[in-house]
Amino acid sequence: MILAEKDDDMRDLRVAVIGAGPAGIYAADILTTNHESASVDIIERLPAPYGLVRYGVAPDHPRIKEIIKALLRILEKPRIRFIGNVDYGTDLTLDELRMFYDAVIFATGAMDDRRLDIPGIDLPGSHGAADFVSWYDAHPDVPREWALDAEQIAVIGAGNVALDVARMLAKTADEQLVTEIPANVYEGLKANRVSDVHVFARRGPAQIKFTPLELRELAHSPNVDVVVHPEGFEIDEASEQAIHASRQTKQVVNTLLGWIDNLPSTKPRRIHIHFCEAPVAVLGTDRVTGLRTERTELTGDGNVRGTGIITDWPVQAVYRAVGYLSSPVPGVPFDHVDGVIPNVAGRVLDAQGAPLPATYVTGWIKRGPVGLIGHTKSDASETIDCLLADLDALPTAASTDPDSVLAYLTGKGIEHTNTHGWERLDAHETSLGEHAGRPRIKIVERDEMVEFSRDTPYSRENSPAQVGQKAHA
């Protein structure tokens, strides 16, 4: 890490970070730690911070959400400012940001589903896992209802998101009443008609990306049996080497071995795990009526090939959990194949492969949706190293007043939230939870989130929209 020591000649540095997930927050923390004259505004389109930690982690994983406490300590640093409810590309463009900041770091993450190009994937009843996750995590920008009318469901994927989806589909609504889910999610889960959830992995048990903790949690429900099917449970020499080389892989395989041929009990729901089954087509005409898979076999190098053995599974819904995908960011190049902003070590590249001045990237939008939160810190550190190495070449923003960007937003009629507003919203959600014996109950509607984030009572006369209209009259 490049350390920029404070001296009399050191320039002040104002940086905008776009995106308030862990990637953006860690970048702000590292920059302000290593440059004593740097200040950072973290600009987020949602009224609340934390990105996928708030809107991508299953509600029955409170331990993972402990990271929020550490992220809040960063947001409370005096030279870091959270500006929420501001949509980059609509409310503020890159050219507008240049008026207020010396550099911009994009940390917009990945919220969309990677596509699975097989016939029938767009049929009604075929869903992306990210959409389902956003619904049960009470994202303010998604529909409030989710139809759970299928009795047999297929989940395609071999990672932790597939396990989250399977677990949320299989557990009863009442089991989730110890979590933060709001009323609309509870009612949706309560109407769930599922009896069997089938998880399909294209490769074998030693090649999957489940973590031991996530896997074991499948069996914690008193209402769900877990059954691992022996067909396709293939362990070749390369798999043996992978098991011996990784304690995590060994734990995963041993857990799966313990569930092989589990006999159904009286529990009302089941999660089935199938290995070496590759999706071929989603079946149906007007809606999903089945999933077709092809049995695969390991090729000795961790990959698989088809065997020609086809199976049709009579399911009424399909969820694909084959990876997240970043969305294009207005004003900067985008690689639509890999789903990233083209860059070298965090420096954004233009169409000719040259670095764009004062423009950087970090997190999943930089390297793709791989790795855990811990990887995000080292990723942000690399980007900040580049920014500090470029320090002398960075332009100086036209405005040096930190509050000028806030006045600019108000003049456009955009009501923004801040760290203190998030703390008020957080306290309100926690209070709702305390009355119900739960850690919190999420507020779903964006307007409500903004309302509880305000430090003064709301009125139409003093709203930013009215102030903005008067300013432009």
Task: List the alpha helices (DSSP H) in 324-403.
Answer: 364-367, 373-389
Q: Which helix (H) or strand (E) holds 451?
A: helix 446-453
Q: What is the pLDDT of residue 150?
A: 97
CA distance linking residue 469 with residue 397, whole number of Å = 27
Domain stop point among 324, 342, 374: 324
Query: 157 lies in a domain?
Result: yes
Residues 137 and 271 in one domain: yes
Write out pLDDT tens, residues 425-453.
999 999 999 999 998 999 999 999 999 99
Q: What is the pLDDT of residue 398?
A: 85
Go through 204-236 and write b for each residue having 16 or more CB atoms within 10 A of its CB, e for each that does not: bbbbbbbbbebbebbeebeebbbbbbeebbbbb
CA distance linking residue 50 with residue 60, whole number of Å = 17
Residues 250 and 154 in one domain: yes
Residues 332 and 226 in one domain: no
Q: What is the pLDDT of residue 383?
A: 96
Domain stop point among 324, 346, 380: 324
Write out pLDDT tens, residues 367-401.
888 766 767 888 999 999 999 999 999 999 888 89
Q: Which domain holds residue 386?
A: 13-111+326-471
Contact 37, 14 (CB under 8 A): no
Q: Give pTM, 2 decimals.
A: 0.89
Contact 317, 121 (CB under 8 A): no
Contact 281, 304 (CB under 8 A): no
Query: 3 lies in a domain?
Result: no
**105: CATH:** 3.40.50.720
Residues 127 and 269 in one domain: yes
CA distance linking residue 388 with residue 31, whole number of Å = 8
CA distance linking residue 122 with residue 105, whole number of Å = 35
Residue with tokens 């009355």: 435
CA distance linking residue 161 with residue 111, whole number of Å = 12
Residues 285 and 383 in one domain: no
**222: CATH:** 3.50.50.60
Domain stop point among 324, 353, 379: 324
Contact 152, 401 (CB under 8 A): no
Contact 379, 107 (CB under 8 A): no
Token pair of 186 as six digits = 């509870």
- Of 391, 336, 424, nearest to 4 by C-alpha is 391
Residues 241 and 389 in one domain: no
Contact 294, 274 (CB under 8 A): no
Number of structural domains found in the chain: 2
Residues 162 and 28 in one domain: no
Q: Which helix (H) or strand (E) holds 187?
A: helix 183-190
Write out pLDDT tens, residues 19-46.
999 999 999 999 999 999 999 999 999 9
Q: Which helix (H) or strand (E) holds 344?
A: strand 343-344
User: CA dist 222 to 5, 37, 270, 274, Å?
Assistant: 57, 55, 11, 22
CA distance linking residue 160 with residue 371, whole number of Å = 12
Residues 26 and 129 in one domain: no
In 3-state terms the chain splits into helix, strand, coil percentages (rounded to 5) of: 35, 20, 45
Query: 424 lies in a domain?
Result: yes
- Of 89, 96, 79, 88, nearest to 34 by C-alpha is 79
Q: What is the pLDDT of residue 65?
A: 73
Query: 254 lies in a domain?
Result: yes
CA distance linking residue 353 with residue 344, whole number of Å = 9
Q: What is the pLDDT of residue 368?
A: 85
Residues 144 and 194 in one domain: yes
User: CA dist 37 to 368, 439, 458, Å?
Assistant: 31, 38, 36
CA distance linking residue 139 with residue 54, whole number of Å = 9
470 class by beta-carbon count within 10 Å (0-12 exposed, 13-18 middle, 19+ buried) = exposed
Contact 272, 256 (CB under 8 A): no
Query: 8 lies in a domain?
Result: no
Low-confidence ranges of the chain (pLDDT < 70): 1-10, 371-372, 374, 456-473
Residues 127 and 255 in one domain: yes
Residue 421: φ, ψ to 5°: -65, -40
Name the residue type at position 323. Answer: G
Go through 283-310 and write b for each residue having 16 or more CB atoms within 10 A of its CB, e for each that does not: bbeeebbbbbbbbbbbeeeeebeeeeee
Query: 227 lies in a domain?
Result: yes
37 class by beta-carbon count within 10 Å (0-12 exposed, 13-18 middle, 19+ buried) = middle
Query: 461 lies in a domain?
Result: yes
Query: 1 lies in a domain?
Result: no
Residues 22 and 51 in one domain: yes
Residues 158 and 90 in one domain: no
